[in-house]
Amino acid sequence: MLQMITLHPVASNVVNLYESFEHKGQTCLAFEILDRDLIQLLGDRQYKPLSLNEIPPIAQQLLTAFVALKGISVIHADLKLDNVMLINQENQPFRVKLIDFGLALHNSEVTTGLTVQALGYRAAEVILGLPFTEAIGMCGVGCVLAELFLTCYLFGTGYEYQKMMNIVDVLGQPDEHVLNAGIYTDKFFKANWH
């Protein structure tokens, strides 16, 4: 997947793959050196939330990365705090890059019911078993930004059922046509014809 991603690493905020090679039957990847991930940043700050001035630059860079990926029909499918790395926090505060394309897939590879994304960042359409696109990354971005501000998961991480309950509590129940289209909807909702 990384060899398919031919994006400008600076303009797209995506990690730069320098080369890949085989060594003793293993594929090795050489990336640019980055500083630390966002979980480490929070740990360095004793899990004190980022301020409202510190979050927008991260948001803008993540959105730029996802727009670039959408342009080549790639779904990252694994956005979480440890897959966003600071370039150099001392010299370029809050300059980040998106990393870890191990679960990334092309739009054409999506099948209905495919489970992707870590549970704490999983989009409702994935949970319900709906067809999805790279737009699921926006749920991940929202969850990452909320976690930086709240220092906890926005919708929890326990079980999918609990996560869906939390999504409904915060955002409301999905529309009926959405629920009817989901192949896993009956795990979370019961039809009430009245």
Q: Where are the beta strands (DSSP E) in the chain?
A: 17-23, 26-31, 36-37, 74-75, 84-88, 92-98, 105-106
3-state secondary structure of 39: helix
Length, in residues, of the chain? 194
Q: Write the CA distances from 120 to 56, 86, 128, 142, 158, integer angstroms.
A: 21, 21, 15, 11, 8
Residues facing residue 88 across a β-bridge: 92
Which of the residues are catalytic? 78
* Ramachandran category for residue 73: left, alpha or beta (phi over 0 → left; psi -120 to 50 → alpha): left
* Amino acid residing at 80: K
3-state secondary structure of 60: helix
Query: Interior CA angle at 46 toward 45 and 48, to 5°?
Result: 70
